[in-house]
Homo-oligomer: A and B are copies of this chain.
Amino acid sequence: MTQPSPSNLAALLDRDSAQAELFELLRIPSVSSDSTRKEAMGQTAEYLRAKLASLGFSARVDETPGHPVVYAEHLKAPGKPTVLVYGHYDVQPEDPVGEWVSPPFEPEVRDGRIYARGATDDKGQAYAHVRGAELLLSQGELPVNLKFLLEGEEEIGSPNLEPYLEAHKDELKNDVIVISDGSRFAKDVPTVTYGLRGLAYIEVRVQGASRDLHSGSYGGAAPNPINALCEIIAGLKDEQGRITVPGFYDSVIPLTEQEREMWADLPHSDEEFAASIGASALPGEQGYSTLERIWGRPTLDVNGIWGGFQGEGSKTVIAAKAGAKISCRLVPGQDPAAVTKALMDYIPTLAPKGVQVEVIDHHGGQPVKFDLDSPFIKAADRALERVYGKPAAFGRTGGSIPIVADFARILGAPVLLVDLGVNEDGLHSPNESFAQEDYFNGILTSAYLMQEIALASESE
């Protein structure tokens, strides 16, 4: 039995079963950064392995020094391209947990959307490919050789993936890598993404006195680490919103005129964008449009800050310590290690006297940009047109998939970024969700994509 030529698979998709299985996956609280959730990580990996094995894949769970990797392969299309699908089964922490309408690990459908931590990032998008393979297999053999690599450490910087890729380089060999881990440009704009920002993530810890002090008895003379931390953070940007870290912009590859024009033509309204996030205005670096700021310019955002008394009422204390998590999104040309080093060198120089500053390197990821003329990108374009009835837009995205650069470097294959979600899904936020329609269309996209990649290889 061989795969028939491309046909309309939509009528053949078992939506109930596809959703029920995703719910099972979403119920497991696989928060990779939470050391108390280690068991849930193993359960999630085993769930995926068993599913892929049931589809006829040779599937296994590979232990790593951190959370395990699920690897599966189905190699029954001799002479056809080999596709590697990457996804991650770990999720962001669920806090602030009080802001969820329904519990983060009890998936629930409201108004056509599946609400749960990981619904879109990345359990939902990764599982769409699993069900895409299942859909094709229900009609015959797979049109390509297919490999799955599903890791459990994406949300903590994938510390063990690079050594895993190195160790399994031969086994993972492929012609194209497919990743769905982001948001397409808009609900009605199927998108092929050709660039990702990178990341440098640090933590700053400031120590004043060796103990908390009474602000009356000591205020005016004692160092205040919270005030100091605020001074440091405020000093990292100038009044034009530009980052003041020496050398920060030196290696940035500027946006091309072609890119700026292409993006200016995309349907975008600053007013609607601001309204969509409930913001009264959009601050940012002077001289760039909103899309340019998000897709093509580096940033510096404080992701968290703490120190002193955070409870109800008032407490007249000068805290002994304060801290903040700070990250920079990076663009092509910038190197995460170099930016991290520049931050580590510069931040202590901004501290007022009397405080000790420690800067900790959390993790980073390389920015990437791919060739818009690749035949695989064109195959994705056709697959999306079959699902959505319109050609895809070509954009970048502001997020990072730090390991994409590792894939390209170690495995030597181009990476197709076919995002199945939308920004409104609320990645990393309370009440993360994934539209049912997007999940089902994602399954169809995956199936058509495999067919189109097989066809592209025939016409070569």
Spell out A's residues near B (CB within 8 Å): 33-35, 92-93, 95-96, 99, 155-157, 182-183, 197, 199, 201, 203, 208-224, 226-227, 229-231, 233-235, 237, 273, 277-285, 290, 293-294, 297-319, 322, 324-325, 327, 329, 352-356, 362-363, 397-400, 423, 426-431
Contacts and interface: CB of A to CB of B under 8 A. Distances in A.
Contact of A308 (B34, B155, B199, B303): B303
A33 B312 contact: yes
Nearest to A203: B314
Given A33-B315, A304-B226, A314-B201, A429 B356 contact: no
A290 to B, nearest CB: 5
B322 A305 contact: yes
Given A290-B221, A304-B319, A306-B306, A209 B325 contact: no
A102 to B, nearest CB: 15
Nearest to A363: B314
B311 A208 contact: no
Contact of A217 (B209, B284, B305, B397): B397
Contact of A426 (B211, B219, B306): B211
A303 to B, nearest CB: 5
Given A211-B426, A304-B310, A221 B282 contact: yes
Nearest to A215: B301
* Interface SS of chain A: loop
Contacts of A277: 209-211, 213, 218, 222
A208 B318 CA distance: 27
Contact of A33 (B215, B303, B314, B427): B314
B223 A281 contact: yes
B354 A217 contact: no
A227 B302 contact: yes
Contacts of A229: 230, 305
Given A216-B400, A303-B315, A316-B400, 4 more contacts: A220-B329, A223-B279, A224-B302, A302-B307
Contacts of A213: 277, 428-429
A93 B33 contact: no
Nearest to A423: B217
7 contacts: A95-B311, A212-B429, A214-B428, A226-B324, A229-B230, A280-B353, A303-B319
B429 A211 contact: yes
Given A215-B329, A294-B218, A309 B314 contact: no
Nearest to A429: B212
Nearest to A329: B219
A396 to B, nearest CB: 11
A353 to B, nearest CB: 4
Contact of A306 (B218, B224, B310, B314): B310
Among A155, A285, A303, A397, chain B packs the most CB atoms within 10 A around the CB of A303
A215 B303 contact: yes
Contacts of A157: 314
Given A211-B429, A314-B363, A315-B93, A221 B294 contact: yes
A355 B279 CA distance: 7
A273 B209 CA distance: 11
A226 B362 contact: no
Contacts of A355: 280
B429 A297 contact: no
A261 B284 CA distance: 52
Contact of A312 (B34, B221, B284, B294): B34
A174 to B, nearest CB: 26
A393 to B, nearest CB: 16
A424 to B, nearest CB: 10
Given A283-B223, A314-B362, A398 B305 contact: no
A310 B325 CA distance: 8
A303 B309 contact: yes
